[in-house]
Amino acid sequence: MARVHSYVVRYDSGFAPNPFYGYCTLATCKPSIRRSASVGDWVVGSGSNDRSVRRGGHLVYAMRVTDTLTFDEYGADPRFGPKKPFRHGSRKQSCGDNIYFRDGPQAPWEQRDSFHSLPDGSLNPDHVSRDTGVNRVLVSDDFIYFGGEGPAFPEDLKDQQGRLLCKSGIGLTTFDDPQLVAGLEQWIRSLGATGYQGAPFEWLTLRR
């Protein structure tokens, strides 16, 4: 049975999730979601209530997990080559999340220059430890990403216990209510769009 994993996207930069090149991927951060989400589950990110963002109650993205890969598989798959970061390229290129690789199964992880590297581009051991602690990347080709321009969540999207689907605080809420899952899918399909629809919130702030 499909579940929904709901959380607040505190830093919506195009890195986690990465909604570019035809796939929405979650390859860094959120180890609890990457560990537990199964193919067929939904991952839903809502906007932050932080006063510098003020996007609480709005959809950032929703992805139905259609594949899961190890970091080794992710790095070797040609579909995701464009997601290897190029920090001096475009905004889209600079926020690539295909950042972990190694020489062999027992070799230490190396890290491409990315949003999770140190300022000089070198490996950040704290991020390496946290990210690779769950050797799993979530992949979706069935997603919608609005970034900083998403619609408000319907107020009736709640489970039988009265818990709202839209997350407003820290942490993760996982729902296994079939009625809520069906309601989410119906709402997402009713939006009449798929894939990348709007720029990450942090990109929008750069335009102001």
Query: What total number of domains does the chain contain?
Result: 1
Q: Which residue in this structure is represented by tokens 């690539």?
A: 96
Model confidence band, residue 124 (pLDDT cutoffs 50, 70, 90):
very high
Q: Is residue 186 part of a domain?
A: yes
From 46-55, 72-81, 128-137, 185-194, the region with the lowest mean pLDDT: 46-55
204 or 197: whose pLDDT is higher?
197
User: What's the pLDDT score for residue 123?
Assistant: 87
Q: Is residue 92 part of a domain?
A: no
Q: Is residue 174 part of a domain?
A: yes
pLDDT tens figures, 80-118: 999 999 988 898 999 999 999 999 999 999 999 888 889
User: What's the pLDDT score for residue 52?
Assistant: 66
Dihedral, CA of residue 113, residue 127, residue 118 and residue 169, to nearest 10: 110
Per-chain mean pLDDT for the chain: 93
Q: Is residue 114 part of a domain?
A: no
Q: Is residue 105 part of a domain?
A: no
Q: Is residue 126 part of a domain?
A: no
> 171 pLDDT exceeds 80?
yes
3 or 205: whose pLDDT is higher?
3
pLDDT tens figures, 148-166: 999 999 999 999 999 999 9
Q: Say if residues 40 and 65 touch (Cβ distance below 8 Å).
A: yes
Contact partners, residue 173, CB within 8 Å, separation at least 6: 5, 6, 7, 163, 167
Dihedral, CA of residue 194, residue 200, residue 205 and residue 208, to nearest 10: -40
Give the residue numbers spanning the domain of 21.
Answer: 4-70+131-207
Strands annotated E in 58-97: 59-64, 67-69
Contact partners, residue 171, CB within 8 Å, separation at least 6: 7
Q: Is residue 96 part of a domain?
A: no
pLDDT tens figures, 22-37: 999 999 999 999 999 9
> 208 pLDDT exceeds 50?
no
User: What's the pLDDT score for residue 155?
Assistant: 92
Q: Whole-angstrom Cα distance, residue 138 to residue 37?
A: 8
